[in-house]
Amino acid sequence: MDTLTLILIFLIFFAIFLFFAASKKKNIKEPAVKKDELIQAYKIQMRDLLKKYENDKETQTVEKIKLLKQINHELSMNLFFNENEATKLLKELSSYS
């Protein structure tokens, strides 16, 4: 009876361990997917900004420059983008009108 009780206790602890180990797994995305998501988010931000100020070109230009500066700062701190990729993206975003 003691052996059976020890095996049962061990199995219970093992099941609890597996439950917690499985629940701690994170959905880790590949760098390429994260990079594409960031690019799309920046494009959407730029389109929204341009749409918001489409009737006021002066404000649109000022806000566009602010957004480009913010994106530039974020890209310079981001490990996924090297300098050439960041420059290419900024040029693409700045060409939106």
Tens digits of per-residue pLDDT, 29-79? 676 678 889 999 999 999 999 999 989 999 999 999 999 999 999 999 988
Q: Token digits for 2?
A: 């003691």
3-state helix, strand, coil in the chain (%, to 5): 80, 0, 20
Q: How far apart are CA 81 and CA 21, in angstroms?
A: 33
Q: Token digits for 39?
A: 């690019």
| Residue 24 DSSP class | T
How high is the pLDDT of residue 28?
66
Asked whether residue 1 carries a pLDDT value surpassing 70, the answer given is: no
pLDDT digit string (tens) for 8-17? 888 898 888 8
By three-state DSSP, how is residue 54 classified? coil
Per-domain residue ranges for the chain? 29-94
How high is the pLDDT of residue 18?
82
